[in-house]
Amino acid sequence: MKIEHSIEIDQPPSVVYDFMMDPENLPLWLTNFVRMEHISGEEGEPGSVSRHIYDEKGRQIEMIETVLTNVENEEMTASYTSDHFDMNIYNYLQPSGEKSTKLKVVTEMEMKGFFMKLIGGLFKGQTEKRLKEDLEKLKDAIEELTEIEGD
């Protein structure tokens, strides 16, 4: 299953990149995010590993993140594994005008096990909706935070 979504953020790529790379900002824009625990490697660098915990309807879901690529202000890619699926997330940042960024996110997900593969189609719509909502929250958080800092 592959999902893509893009959004324009009224800040340059350097601001968007820095915001996205700061683990303390994750709860501001990732739905149901609880915490991240660094496991190994240099945080944010290719090969680094972290545990991400989410609360899904009262149940804690754990995913292990491995950073695949990280090109400052341009691209961040990571793989995630869980009991139910494997997923790669590609984040691409491009300048858009003088002080704006086009952020494109591509998510590729593969369900594990017969049951998950059977109901996987149901997750596509939910995953698309969540990605759009999370990117809107990211845009709002970045634009509001930078307005506050600029005052």
- Length reported for the chain: 151
- Under 8 Å between Cβ of 60 and 77: no
C-alpha distances in Å from residue 140, one per residue of 7, 100, 137 = 11, 13, 5
Q: Does 133 have pLDDT greater than 80?
A: yes
At 28-61, the pLDDT tens digits run 999 999 999 999 999 999 999 999 999 998 999 9
Q: Does 150 have pLDDT greater than 70?
A: no
